[in-house]
Amino acid sequence: MSIRKLKAAIRDIPDFPQPGILFKDITPVLKDPKLFRAAVDLFAKRHRDKGIRKIAVIDARGFLFGAALAYKLKAGVVPIRKKGKLPYQTYEESYDLEYGSATLAIHVDAFSPGEPVVLVDDLLATGGTALASAKLIERAGGKVEEIDFLVELGFLNGRAKLGGYNLFAPIKY
């Protein structure tokens, strides 16, 4: 399955979640078994036999790719959620995004010290969500080996904000 086919399946939704935003909708990739498997396999190939013990997943679409990736790699899954959604003690990190601000949280006992982690989300936009998530992983003791996205919106320069991290995004706009 080619990256071109994955990219062709992603549709544009204008003015979502607010006017002026062009949302890249990945649900056509998710609903097609071949496309979904191809996307997960792209990530899995990068990390097979590299000792990744945990996949950190960003609420909510990161959960979909990251959980499947963790299964393939025989790794654990660590959710990074919006503030107030995790039941145990958490670290929190606030950040700005292209249409507002938010706070993310992670359980304080999510990782063993220095544990290798891959952070997964569906899309890199301004980089605020991914940077906040990477900081949370590090505060909780994990070591971010790579941050993986299915899609990168290059015109928003999120990669620049994440300069200290290895990044992978096979689809770029």
SS3 state at 134: helix
| Residue among 61, 92, 138, 139 flagged as catalytic | 61
Cα separation of 112 and 59, whole Å?
Answer: 22
98 is catalytic: yes
93 is catalytic: no
Two structure tokens written together for 114: 């220095």
Cα separation of 116 and 33, whole Å?
Answer: 29
SS3 state at 100: strand
Among the listed residues 32, 40, 87, 80, the one whose alpha carbon sits nearest the alpha carbon of residue 64: 40
Looking at 26-162, which runs of residues are DSSP E strands? 54-58, 76-82, 90-97, 100-107, 115-124, 142-152
Q: Which residues contact 45 (CB under 8 A, 6 or more apart)?
A: none
Cα separation of 61 and 49, whole Å?
Answer: 25
| Residue among 46, 81, 98, 138 flagged as catalytic | 98
Residues tagged active-site: 61, 98
